[in-house]
Structure 1
Amino acid sequence: MNERQKYKWKQDLSWLKNRIKFKINRIFFMTQDKMVMFESYHGKRCGDSVRAIYEEMLKDDTFRDYTFVWAFSKPSEHEDLLKNPHTILVKKGSSEYFRYYAASRFWINNVSIPDFLIPGRHQIYIETWHGTPLKRLGCDITTDSDPRQSKERMHRRYRIKGKKVTHFLSPSPYYTEKISTAFDVDPAKDGLFINCGYPRNDALFTASEEETAAFKKSLGIPEGAKVILYTPTWRDNEYQNGHGFQYESPVNLGKLMDLLPENYVLLFRAHHQVGTSEVIQETDRIFDVTEADDLNDLYLISDLMITDYSSTMFDYSVLKRPMVFHMYDLERYEREIRGFYFDLEELPGPITKTEEELAKAIVDGISHFDYATDKKYRAFHDKFNPWEDGQAARRVIDSCILIPPHKKGIWEKLVLNYKRTLNRIHIVYLIIKYNIGGFFNKHGLFLNNNSRRLLNMKDSHKGERCFLIGNGPSLSPDDLHMLINEYTFGTNMVYKIFDQTDWRPSFHCVSDSIYATKLRDELYNNVKSPLFTIEKTYRKMTKRTLETTYVHTIASERYKVKGNIFSYCMVKATVLSLAAEFAFHMGFSEIYLLGVDCTNPHAAGGHFTDNYTTKEIAQTDISRIKERMNKENVTTEQIGEHIIDRSMDVYRLLKKYADKHGIKIYNATRGGNLEIFPRVKLEDVLASERPPHKQKG
């Protein structure tokens, strides 16, 4: 069996296995109109037009409630994307990979999706492709040079790929013509080609000098150096079994650098198909930038680009900077490997074949290039970039993504109703489970360490008083200092005030899981008192003390005061709802609120310190609020009103429960908007005789 037969059998078996997996997922996971699947360079990178469209969507509040899914071979290398709370990373080939492809309405890819993925009737597959072709592509290749597959098999696969595509993104009439023949599709088909430009090139129009300078500095490029970018393409005949395509150029980069002035540096960027072992010679003037996600960053810092048959020439020409075409294997490439779509006389720069010719052309280009007088360059630019203006991604979104929801079929409706029913059943199941478990735990049965702590807390401070500390702007170190001998519940990041007072809370409450993930070390290092939280947050705390106690919760917008945390409790709008439940459980009969201003936490001066939270956490919270409000454009004032209204609802229900059970709740906050509880002065409270209680500590 020869190599082509082995490759064919391997591919066919892989296709069958993965096709079955995908089909099964398609049965159970219905198309989600607000879910987008992104994959770039077979999951190797996060860049190109795919990234440009993603970033444009993030800027648009229309997509605040969309789910964005990125597929990577190594997701851990791209965790910076998780700064957006609606972005999910999945490993290419994993079960989640198949599930999200089955469920996503939109697929955005730049090298064609795997053969086993076939979009459903309502799914939109946007193929950005990764460059305008100079060399022949797909069905236009007439040579039989690919060692993995025959020419006929390759043509068949390209035809299948073409049939899957809903939209190709086109930067020029030339591109439309060549891609349509390469994939054997009809360019006249309505909506198949979107005349928009390349989204990845938008950044070439908008990048700032500061960003470009910062990226250049991050690579360690000396100030004042002339930067040469080298972007060779791959060769079909450079495939190695077990290693894939390898860069095996006869170009001696070390020799080239010896021929260039000392202040010239070279950035080497291999094609995404190619391995780069043993390419970079030992010299500090050559930088391997193959792993850089965004090629635009490399374009912007370079003074000249060297390429051969790569489509990078078309993108780089947008910048109107000099190029040199180093085609050491020109005759062989044209005759035996690919061939070209147009006459190389149209190229906007000299063709070289030796290191000496290349060095001379580089120096000449750096010294004498002038776009305004270069007619050939201007003609090239006008032919291949007529629609480039920095707005391509916006046009893609308007044309391809902002479309009406799909009409659900009978099967989809059945599955969705089935899932809703299961969800209701699950909620009922949790209520029964938690109530039964809580009943036994309350009577000292079937205890684990957590429920044993809850049992020990029950009525441990019966008839005593405590203070629930909010984090509003009125909270002061002086007031907290007066509470050193009182029982107090601190909340969230109240430890930001510890450097101004000796006061420390008796107990600490955190309910939002984002604090467990984003402020893990801060919480662990600063919270030394018993910590109370909910189970979801507890599970996300990879670092926690032995005195951390959690309660079960059930996700629901219908808030009620449970009054029995042995089973579960509801937490909504404010962490003080959790603190109050624990105070009720511990038997406190007088509860005082301090620092509970009920003001907008996202407005200036919303907390007792300006650095109370991080920008990332604040943005995540705002995104969740916008999603809950179901509004596209929301002001900071509207967000504040929403938070305050929800909090007031909680406080009304807390007062109702407290009144019913003979618990007194007072508001000792200095100022603020909370008038549901009777107002008291902190000094008067502390001067009065307090209920008898055990000495703290």
Structure 2
Amino acid sequence: MKNNIVLYMKEILKLFLILEFKIFSIFPLKDKKIVFCEGTNSKFSGNCRNIYEYLKEKKYSFYLVELQKKQNYNFIKNYNFYNLKGIYHLATAKYWFADSGFLSFLPKRNEQKNIQLWHGAGAFKKFGFAELRDKNIKYNKNKFKSIDLLSVSSDKIIDIYAEAFGIEREKIKNLGIPRADIFFKENEKLRVKEEFFNKYTNLKDKKIIMYAPTFRDNDKGNFNLKLDINLMKEKLEKLDYVLLLRLHPSIKKDNIQVDNKFSFNFGDYPQVSDLLIASDILISDYSSIIFEFSIMKKPILFYSYDVEEYIKDRGFYYNYYDFIPNKINYTTDEVVNSIINKEWDLERIEKFARYFFNPFDGNSTERVLKEVGLWEEEK
């Protein structure tokens, strides 16, 4: 009963937002206005930010509309999605760049361009309509019809995204993932490392392990960290390793104990690409973060203690056991031994990266902007 009331209220809210959008659509469309739309708690640090960084010196006006506004920025005006001003800017902007699909129910004007830069790279666990279908959940087949362009990182995953979004294959193009461009640029990575270690001088001469597990529905309550930090400290601290925790923004981290000597909580660090560049080893499970890290041909360990349960609950586009470019670790002991014994194959990781990033270069931002007519060649 309670769930039905919540769903009903959400539908009523959508109708109000649609009405507001239609009212604001009487105002002229502004060809030089660009709205970025984010709904992934990324603190404006992902694909949309890359597009902004290229265009910010051009003659455009920029606005950020977030599903949940958590802070103000001093370089761009930002609004909550439910703020009238946010809806006004969406109704009058020529271009929408989005990293999630929360705004797709709005009745986009014919002259507007809705460019979808999905927040996850590659294709791993099932999402969108594919996940709902497998769970026999009813869904709105027209939800994403307003998308004009969806950019992906490889021809091999176009069909997967067509199914997940329920849109025509012709709307999906292999232009790349803008936020991944930095991982191909050696000078940029050196700059990031220098700035990072100037700020965190205590980490400069350490071998950095980053643990970035995926979000699980049962993590919404009291989160239970399955990685034994004390055991890792006992075995690895003497070998000059340190552990950075990068947990999902939705997880309550009050009960996560770190000592800020061996273990550190970087859950609120704004730019995840900095952490990937600074880290020497990544530990994850089912998170799409592995795709970007693999570009740099660095070790990835898979701590997938609940793999069978996760497969049944969520499902994957590939056979998980064959898909990942390393073996599965089921316990912290196994993770520690894999690190000490260097149990990884960097050539296999590179092959994995080239499968999901093809072309294998750092020119995704350029390709996306050329496709929508916003790229300007340097004079």
| TM-score > 0.5 by shorter chain | yes
Structure 1 partner of 2:195: 214
Q: Please report how far the alpha carbon of residue 268 of structure 1 lies from its aligned counterpart in structure 2 after TM superposition.
A: 1.5
Q: How does 1:642-653 map to 2 (within 5 A)?
A: none
- Change in CA separation of 1:118 and 1:308 when aligned onto 2, cut-off 3 Å: farther
Q: Please report how far the alpha carbon of residue 633 of structure 1 lies from its aligned counterpart in structure 2 after TM superposition.
A: 8.8
Q: Which has the higher contact order (CA 8 A, sep 6+)?
A: 2
Structure 1 partner of 2:212: 231
Task: State the distance in 2 between where 1:96 and 1:388 align.
Answer: 40
Q: Please report how far the alpha carbon of residue 210 of structure 1 lies from its aligned counterpart in structure 2 after TM superposition.
A: 3.5
- What is the identity, as a one-letter code, of the residue corresponding to 1:152? I
Structure 2 partner of 1:399: 371
Give 5+ residue unaligned stretches, structure 2: none
Structure 1 partner of 2:100: 111
Task: State the distance in 1 between where 2:208 and 2:142 align.
Answer: 42
Confirm or deny that 1:179 pairs with 2:161. Answer: yes
Task: State the distance in 1 between where 2:39 and 2:201 align.
Answer: 26
Task: State the distance in 1 between where 2:157 and 2:123 align.
Answer: 7
Q: Please report how far the alpha carbon of residue 123 of structure 1 lies from its aligned counterpart in structure 2 after TM superposition.
A: 0.9
Q: How does 1:464-543 map to 2 (within 5 A)?
A: none
Structure 1 partner of 2:13: 14
Q: How does 1:250-289 map to 2 (within 5 A)?
A: 250-262=226-238, 263-289=240-266
Structure 2 partner of 1:30: 28
Confirm or deny that 1:334 pairs with 2:311. Answer: yes
Deviation by residue 1:575-597 (Cα, 9 ceiling, x = unmatched): xxxxxxxxxxxxxxxxxxxxxxx
Task: State the distance in 1 between where 2:156 and 2:230 align.
Answer: 37
- What is the identity, as a one-letter code, of the residue corresponding to 1:78? Y
CA contact (8 A) 1:229 1:266 kept: yes
Confirm or deny that 1:354 pairs with 2:331. Answer: yes
Q: Secondary structure at the match of 1:36?
A: strand
CA contact (8 A) 1:40 1:48 kept: no
- Change in CA separation of 1:254 and 1:177 when aligned onto 2, cut-off 3 Å: farther
Q: Secondary structure at the match of 1:161?
A: coil
Task: State the distance in 2 between where 1:167 and 1:273 align.
Answer: 29
- What is the identity, as a one-letter code, of the residue corresponding to 1:229? M
Structure 2 partner of 1:205: 184
Task: State the distance in 1 between where 2:228 and 2:15 align.
Answer: 44
Task: State the distance in 2 between where 1:261 and 1:222 align.
Answer: 12
Q: How does 1:84-103 map to 2 (within 5 A)?
A: 87-103=76-92
Q: Please report how far the alpha carbon of residue 273 of structure 1 lies from its aligned counterpart in structure 2 after TM superposition.
A: 4.5
Q: Secondary structure at the match of 1:178?
A: helix
Confirm or deny that 1:152 pairs with 2:137. Answer: yes
- Change in CA separation of 1:161 and 1:270 when aligned onto 2, cut-off 3 Å: farther
Structure 1 partner of 2:38: 40
- What is the identity, as a one-letter code, of the residue corresponding to 2:129? C
Task: State the distance in 2 between where 1:347 and 1:370 align.
Answer: 11
Structure 2 partner of 1:682: none
CA contact (8 A) 1:198 1:388 kept: no
Q: Please report how far the alpha carbon of residue 166 of structure 1 lies from its aligned counterpart in structure 2 after TM superposition.
A: 0.8
Q: Please report how far the alpha carbon of residue 383 of structure 1 lies from its aligned counterpart in structure 2 after TM superposition.
A: 1.2
Task: State the distance in 1 between where 2:355 and 2:241 align.
Answer: 31
- Change in CA separation of 1:633 and 1:260 when aligned onto 2, cut-off 3 Å: closer
- What is the identity, as a one-letter code, of the residue corresponding to 1:175? I
- What is the identity, as a one-letter code, of the residue corresponding to 1:270? L
Task: State the distance in 2 between where 1:211 and 1:378 align.
Answer: 22
Task: State the distance in 1 between where 2:179 and 2:21 align.
Answer: 30
* Count of aligned positions: 372
Deviation by residue 1:330-387 (Cα, 9 ceiling, x = unmatched): 111111x10111122231122111110111122333xx6563xx3x323312211112
CA contact (8 A) 1:259 1:356 kept: no
Structure 1 partner of 2:63: 69
Give 5+ residue unaligned stretches, structure 1: 145-150, 241-245, 404-631, 635-697
Q: Please report how far the alpha carbon of residue 138 of structure 1 lies from its aligned counterpart in structure 2 after TM superposition.
A: 1.7
Confirm or deny that 1:78 pairs with 2:76. Answer: no
Structure 1 partner of 2:118: 129
Q: Secondary structure at the match of 2:34?
A: strand
TM-score (structure 2 length as normaliser)? 0.89
CA contact (8 A) 2:129 2:165 kept: yes
Task: State the distance in 1 between where 2:211 and 2:71 align.
Answer: 28
Q: How does 1:237-636 map to 2 (within 5 A)?
A: 237-240=218-221, 247-262=223-238, 263-335=240-312, 337-344=313-320, 345-365=322-342, 369=344, 371=346, 374=347, 376-402=348-374
Q: Please report how far the alpha carbon of residue 288 of structure 1 lies from its aligned counterpart in structure 2 after TM superposition.
A: 2.0
CA contact (8 A) 2:207 2:241 kept: yes
- Change in CA separation of 1:16 and 1:277 when aligned onto 2, cut-off 3 Å: farther
- Change in CA separation of 1:346 and 1:116 when aligned onto 2, cut-off 3 Å: closer
Task: State the distance in 2 between where 1:358 and 1:260 align.
Answer: 11
Q: Please report how far the alpha carbon of residue 143 of structure 1 lies from its aligned counterpart in structure 2 after TM superposition.
A: 4.9
Task: State the distance in 1 between where 2:234 and 2:108 align.
Answer: 52
Q: Please report how far the alpha carbon of residue 119 of structure 1 lies from its aligned counterpart in structure 2 after TM superposition.
A: 1.8
Task: State the distance in 1 between where 2:55 and 2:148 align.
Answer: 19
CA contact (8 A) 2:104 2:147 kept: no
Q: Secondary structure at the match of 1:232?
A: coil
TM-score (structure 1 length as normaliser)? 0.50
Q: Secondary structure at the match of 2:25?
A: helix
Task: State the distance in 1 between where 2:378 and 2:191 align.
Answer: 30
Task: State the distance in 1 between where 2:310 and 2:378 align.
Answer: 54
Q: Please report how far the alpha carbon of residue 321 of structure 1 lies from its aligned counterpart in structure 2 after TM superposition.
A: 0.6
Q: Please report how far the alpha carbon of residue 214 of structure 1 lies from its aligned counterpart in structure 2 after TM superposition.
A: 1.5
- Change in CA separation of 1:56 and 1:288 when aligned onto 2, cut-off 3 Å: same
- Change in CA separation of 1:312 and 1:392 when aligned onto 2, cut-off 3 Å: same
Task: State the distance in 2 between where 1:98 and 1:332 align.
Answer: 41
- What is the identity, as a one-letter code, of the residue corresponding to 1:212? K
Q: Please report how far the alpha carbon of residue 276 of structure 1 lies from its aligned counterpart in structure 2 after TM superposition.
A: 3.2
Q: Please report how far the alpha carbon of residue 17 of structure 1 lies from its aligned counterpart in structure 2 after TM superposition.
A: 2.5
- Change in CA separation of 1:251 and 1:7 when aligned onto 2, cut-off 3 Å: farther
RMSD: 2.6
CA contact (8 A) 1:202 1:389 kept: yes
Task: State the distance in 2 between where 1:254 and 1:7 align.
Answer: 42
Confirm or deny that 1:165 pairs with 2:154. Answer: no
Q: Secondary structure at the match of 1:397?
A: helix
Task: State the distance in 1 between where 2:257 and 2:145 align.
Answer: 41
Task: State the distance in 2 between where 1:280 and 1:77 align.
Answer: 29
Task: State the distance in 2 between where 1:202 and 1:44 align.
Answer: 17
Q: Please report how far the alpha carbon of residue 398 of structure 1 lies from its aligned counterpart in structure 2 after TM superposition.
A: 0.7
- Change in CA separation of 1:215 and 1:309 when aligned onto 2, cut-off 3 Å: same
Q: Percent identity?
A: 25
Structure 2 partner of 1:494: none
Structure 2 partner of 1:139: 129
Q: Secondary structure at the match of 1:20?
A: helix
- Change in CA separation of 1:99 and 1:381 when aligned onto 2, cut-off 3 Å: same
Task: State the distance in 2 between where 1:300 and 1:34 align.
Answer: 34
Deviation by residue 1:49-87 (Cα, 9 ceiling, x = unmatched): 11111112236xxxx2211112344475422xx2xxxx4
